[in-house]
Amino acid sequence: MPVVELQGIGKRFGKVVASAGIDLRIEDGEYVTILGPSGCGKTTLIRMIAGILEPSEGRVLIGGRDMAGVPIEERDVGYVFQNIALFPHLSAIENVSYGPIVKDMSEEEKASIPRRYLELVNLLDRMNMFPDALSGGEKQKVALARALASGAKLLLLDEPLSALDARVRMDLRYELRRIAKDLGLTVLHVTHDQEEAMTVSDRIVLMRNGRIVEVNTPEELYKAPKELFTANFIGETNLLDGVVVRNGSDHTVVELRDGTHVEAQPSRFGPGDAVVLSVRPERVHALETGLKAVIRALTFMGTYVRVTAEADSEDVLEFDVPVARGRDYNMGDNVYLGWSMSSALVYPRPPEGIAEAVKLE
């Protein structure tokens, strides 16, 4: 039995449709990320699961039970808010004890459980401090301990790391997954950061404009995205405009705007179909021959140099070279780019144009 099931969930605020047609199943022990740009409806979704919002249509089932009419406090779901929401008038330990107290646990539990979870997040020595004396990362850990101490097995995290510094985020995201796995929790983690999603998730639910675009493991979404939006949103990619020329059993040939022919994975398109070709920067290499492009920019990225080049077809391609080889490339140079067939994926060209189809806001 799935821990969480959403059947046909939709939510309207007046005339505005925040989400529609959501079907989802989350299994016990999964760490699932709900990923998407701001305004895609991801926070609305977990609020409906928590009971903070009521869906306009559809059913929310937790543990097989329909949650219609069930108030927040009876759903037994842990929630960590985007802005942390630690009670400012209570110390860290008092915050973490809140759940056990309002659930009227036994005296022994009320004493031991909060300490156990504060210890789990390595903040037992800060237990008497008040929220305004804690750093951002510490506050977030206390919020996590507090949600866990209430005994919930299902944890909803609403952009828990967004307010933190980049470095603190990186450290904390591993912690979240580790704790979740150690305790056998089911987690729904909302974020707009695809890098974050890829590193912590068992599965990613990609959302856009209130609908689910695609659901899959991080690896699959990265290697074989089914939608153009996914290909562009998760990881970086180069997008080239073209028309199918030939469709063979093991490859597709696409003609770019300037007439150059390039190769891609086999696809279901026929000659004459308008398509978009997607190839990731790390799969593009500078060769002796290939697609001709002029170098427009060179950017130092630390352990590699990102080269930006413009092809005659006006498509812009980015690829990376090791820092040591960076000196071989200069602005204005011609490069000849190529990639293996299996590196490039083909998608139908969206009628509204590529920019519209992949835009984030």
Residues at the contact surface with another protein, assessed by CB under 8 A: 37-39, 50, 52, 71-73, 76-79, 81, 83, 85, 87-90, 94, 97-99, 101-104, 135-138, 146-147, 150, 165-168, 170, 174, 192-196, 198-199, 218-219, 222, 233-236, 280-282, 299-303, 360-361
* Residue in 240, 242, 218 with CA at minimum distance from that of residue 230: 218
User: Looking at the DSSP assignment, which residues form a beta bridge with residue 16?
Assistant: 13
Which one-letter amino acid corresponds to residue 10? G
Record the tokens describing residue 136, joined without a space: 């951002």
Q: How far apart are CA 188 and CA 204, in angstroms?
A: 10
Quick check: 150 and 99 in contact, CB under 8 A? yes
Least spacing, CB of residue 251 vs another protein, in Å? 20
Nearer to another protein, 162 or 247 (CB): 162
Least spacing, CB of residue 229 vs another protein, in Å? 11
Nearer to another protein, 269 or 339 (CB): 339
Nearer to another protein, 115 or 292 (CB): 115
Least spacing, CB of residue 338 vs another protein, in Å? 17
The phi and psi torsions of 76 (rounded to 5 degrees) equal: 55, 50
Least spacing, CB of residue 270 vs another protein, in Å? 31
Least spacing, CB of residue 209 vs another protein, in Å? 13
Quick check: 50 and 85 in contact, CB under 8 A? no
Nearer to another protein, 64 or 302 (CB): 302
Nearer to another protein, 244 or 276 (CB): 276
Burial code of 27-55, b = ≥16 C-beta within 10 A, e = fewer? eeebbbbbbbbeebbbbbbbbbbbbbbeb
Q: How far apart are CA 176 and CA 325, in angstroms?
A: 38
Q: How far apart are CA 354 and CA 347, in angstroms?
A: 11
Nearer to another protein, 55 or 235 (CB): 235
Residue 67 CB coordination number (10 Å): 21
Nearer to another protein, 210 or 269 (CB): 210
Least spacing, CB of residue 11 vs another protein, in Å? 17
Least spacing, CB of residue 217 vs another protein, in Å? 9
Directed axis angle between helix 136-149 and helix 107-120, to 10°? 140
Three-state SS string over 118-131 comes to HHHCCCHHHCCCCH
